[in-house]
Amino acid sequence: MTPQPKTTSSPVIVEKIYQRFNLGQRWEHMLLFLSATVLLLTGLPQKYRDASWSQAILTTPDRVYLIQQIHHIAAIVLILEAVYHLGRAIYQLSRRKLSAGMFPTVQDLRDAGQMILYLLFIRKDKPKFGKYNFEQKVTYWFVFFGFILMIISGLVIWFPLWFTNFLPGGIVPAAKLMHSTEAIAAAVFILIWHFYHVHIERLNLSIFTGKLSEKEMQEFHTKELERLQRKPKDKVKPGEPK
Amino acid sequence: MNNPILQRQKFGLFTAGVIALLVSLLFVVSPASAGNPTQKTENYCLSCHGDPKLNMTLPSGEVLSLYVSQDVIGHSVHSPLGIECEACHTDISTYPHPAQSFQNKRDLSRTIYLACQKCHPDNFQKAQDSMHATAAAKGNMQAAICTDCHGAHDVQIPGKPRSSISLTCSKCHADIYAQYKQSVHGSALINENNQDVPVCTDCHGVHNIQDPTTAAFRVQSPEMCARCHADPQLMGKYGLPSDVYSIYKTSWHGVDVSVYKSRWPTIWHDSAVCTDCHGIHDMRKTTDPASHVNPTNLLATCQKCHPGTGPNWTDAWTGHNKISLQRTPFLFYVDAFYSSFTPFILWICIIYVVLQIIRSLVDRVRRSLP
């Protein structure tokens, strides 16, 4: 089913719209975004307790306690989201329905190499990408492993007594160091890498709207568009004018 | 006018005049050393008070000896300096003495010691702001006053020998002295006459001794220990590390304590300070089996604040160790990883994004060109 313009005589150009993320994925991103922001904002003042800006926030011991409670609540939200995400992936895997789109491939390495050549003015054209390009896969897997480390190290310093029942005591200060440095690495990565790609390179709101226009598909996900157009029955949803 | 004989005579006269002036000045400036008249006053007093049997009964029933030993007062710090009896006994200048209204011995001491402030106003004032003065204000008349520590007729230069300081405190604080004597500091002082170890006053202060059980004293106490234990020269002398404090300050406990010290010094906080683990007056070498931080006792010491912890728990404490493969392997690997990983991520992100910005700008400019 190919989307049709409503009236052939209308001067309004109606673009085809392609579904990129389903509602569940958009909600997952929203939860991740909100909980990670709260975690970062409540974590930084704790990490930099010696700094005056932190002490301007944490003016009383009660405030310290409060900010820790908020951090823990946001952590629970993040953990639940991570469990849901992993559980869903495992469920889909067990039914052989897990989309392979997000897994890294050799093609991604080639794309990255071509992209660097393009950026260095050695090649003329950007590589053509599928549904998820290598930049987006790097983002996903960085966040994936980063949050696993953050959750584990966070739980260790939240419940050190329990963990040292069966793990060496040395993991406690190591977890504390990991939690506070991985947080900075992750924040730096998201703020530079992710924000550039979704805000500055182009404003890509598909994670909130779920949709991409044909023009965007053509420019950024050429191969995916080609695939969809080859098999029009597969997953193409009728676009609606925005 | 150029007669050499006349000139020589003039010079001789001048010299004689100067010498005479200097000699007379000597008499004016230091009468004590010249004539020592005050000893006469002392001798006058001792003509009665030199009798060992001289005493009186106070209204409380206590028998007060009025005997002052010539030997004791002669060897005090005051008497040889010419400070006479009535410098302290200000209302007694002759015989018969004016009537006294002391009810008991303590009453007498607490009245006469007020004379100390005439010559020692600073230290006297400090003592008025001390824990001892606070205790006295609350009704404990036994709380120490100047003469309790320094003595009265037998007042000596304080701190000679150094061990006398802790002995002085032990007159009232015997139980604490007993602990201190066994400690690494006390035993070195008493048995080895070590002059580096702290005596009571090094930690508690001299005249303005403060309540050591307050939150404020607690959070500043690590700095107190650091006065010696962060001194590389002093610690080097005994083969002790001098970075225990600087590493502690970055530890979980240490950061907590320093935040409380700077922000909320009056709010009690339980995060461990030095004395919580090492002991207050009974700190010993870590190799001593009786030490609270000896490996055999360490877990029990941790459990004072962290009940229910297992034997692995003690390794979680890294507050005195630099990150090293031997002492803190987990910390070492995490630190090694992130000290390269974080800058790596940062630079990759920056370089990649900057390249992309340049490329897209160049593209845009090219497209706008005809």
Band of residue A4 on the pLDDT scale cut at 50, 70, 90: low
pLDDT tier, A172 (very low <50, low <70, confident <90, very high otherwise): very high
- Cβ atoms of B104 and B59 within 8 Å: the answer is yes
**Contacts (Cβ under 8 Å, ≥6 apart) of A195:** none
More confident residue, B21 or A108: A108
Which pair of structure tokens corresponds to residue B212? Answer: 């050591």
Which residue has better confidence, B36 or B95?
B95
pLDDT value for B94: 80
User: Hey, which residues 70-129 in chain A have their CB within 8 Å of chain B?
Assistant: 116, 118-121
Pairwise CA distance, residues B10 & B22, whole Å: 19
Q: What is the pLDDT of residues B130-179, one digit of tens each?
A: 999 999 999 999 999 999 999 999 998 888 888 899 999 999 999 999 99
When pLDDT is cut at 50, 70 and 90, the band that residue A10 belongs to is: low
Q: How far apart are CA A46 and CA A51, in angstroms?
A: 10
**Buried/exposed code over B90-115 (b: 16+ C-beta within 10 A; e: otherwise):** eeeeeeeeeeeebeeeebbbbebbeb
Whether residue A200 contacts residue A193, with contact meaning beta carbons closer than 8 Å, is answered with: no
Q: What pLDDT sits at residue B39?
A: 59
pLDDT of residue B277 exceeding 90, the answer is yes
Number of domains forming the structure of chain A:
1
**Is B321 part of the contact surface with chain A (CB cutoff 8 Å)?**
no
CA distance B280 to chain A (A): 26
Residue-level pLDDT at B8: 61
The pLDDT of residue A133 is 87
The answer to whether residue A61 neighbours chain B at the CB level (below 8 Å) is: yes
| A8-22, A180-194, B330-344, range with the lowest pLDDT | A8-22
Residue B203 in tokens: 């930690």
pLDDT over 70 at B5, yes or no: no
Contacts with A169 from chain B: Cβ below 8 Å? 312-317
- Give me the mean pLDDT over the B292-297 stretch: 93
Mean pLDDT for B167-195 is 93
B97-112 tens-digit pLDDT = 888 888 899 999 999 9
Chosen for mutation from B270, B334, B360, B361 (greatest number of chain A CBs closer than 10 Å) is: B334
Tell me what pLDDT residue A52 has.
87
* Probe site for chain A from B256, B352, B358 (most A CB atoms < 10 A): B352
Question: Is the Cβ–Cβ distance between A164 and B310 less than 8 Å?
Answer: yes
Band of pLDDT at residue B324, cut at 50, 70 and 90 = confident
Q: Cβ of A60 and B264 within 8 Å?
A: yes
Task: Kindly state the average pLDDT of the residues B269-290.
Answer: 93
Distances (CA, A) of B154 to A46, B66, B68, B76, B115: 58, 14, 10, 5, 16
Whether the CB of B341 is below 8 Å from some CB of chain A: the reply is yes
Binary contact (A181, B338; C-beta < 8 A): yes
Q: What is the pLDDT of residue B126?
A: 93
Say yes or no: A48 contacts chain B, CB-CB below 8 A: no
Side-chain half-sphere of B31: how many Cα atoms within 13 Å?
A: 6
Q: Is the pLDDT of residue B236 over 50?
A: yes
Share the mean pLDDT of chain A: 86
Predicted ipTM beyond 0.90: no
Q: Mean pLDDT across the stretch A19-37?
A: 91
Contact B316 A192 (CB under 8 A): no
Condensed to tens digits (0 to 9), the pLDDT of residues A38-53 reads 999 999 999 998 888 9
pLDDT bucket at A13, cuts 50 / 70 / 90: low
- Residue range(s) defining the domain that contains residue A51: 17-230
Per-residue pLDDT, B29: 45
Contact flag A50-B313 (C-beta cutoff 8 Å) = no
Q: Is residue A239 part of a domain?
A: no
| CB within 8 Å of chain B, chain A residues 130-189 | 160-161, 164-174, 176-178, 181-182, 184-185, 188-189
CATH of the domain at A97: 1.20.950.20
Whether residue B25 has pLDDT greater than 70? no
pLDDT digits (tens, 9 = 90+) for B35-92: 444 457 888 888 889 999 999 898 888 999 999 998 899 889 998 888 888 888 988 8
Residues 6+ apart with CB under 8 A from B199: B162, B163, B165, B166, B189
Give pLDDT, residue A213: 84
Contact B336/A at CB under 8 A: no
User: pLDDT over 90 for what percent of chain A?
Assistant: 49
pLDDT score for B28: 47
Span B176-194, average pLDDT: 93
Residue B301 has pLDDT above 50, yes or no: yes
Choose the mutation target among A158, A159, A196 for the interface with B, i.e. most B CBs under 10 Å: A196
For residue B278, the model assigns a pLDDT of 94
pLDDT in tens, A79-120: 999 999 999 999 998 998 888 888 999 998 998 999 999 999
Which pLDDT belongs to residue A102?
A: 86
Which residues in chain A are closer than 8 Å to B342, comparing Cβ atoms?
A: 181, 184-185, 188
Residues in chain A with CB shorter than 8 Å from the CB of B312 are: 164-169
Kindly calculate the radius of gyration of chain A based on its CA atoms and give it in whole angstroms.
22
Residue contact A193–B328, C-beta within 8 A? no
| The pLDDT of residue A11 is above 90 | no
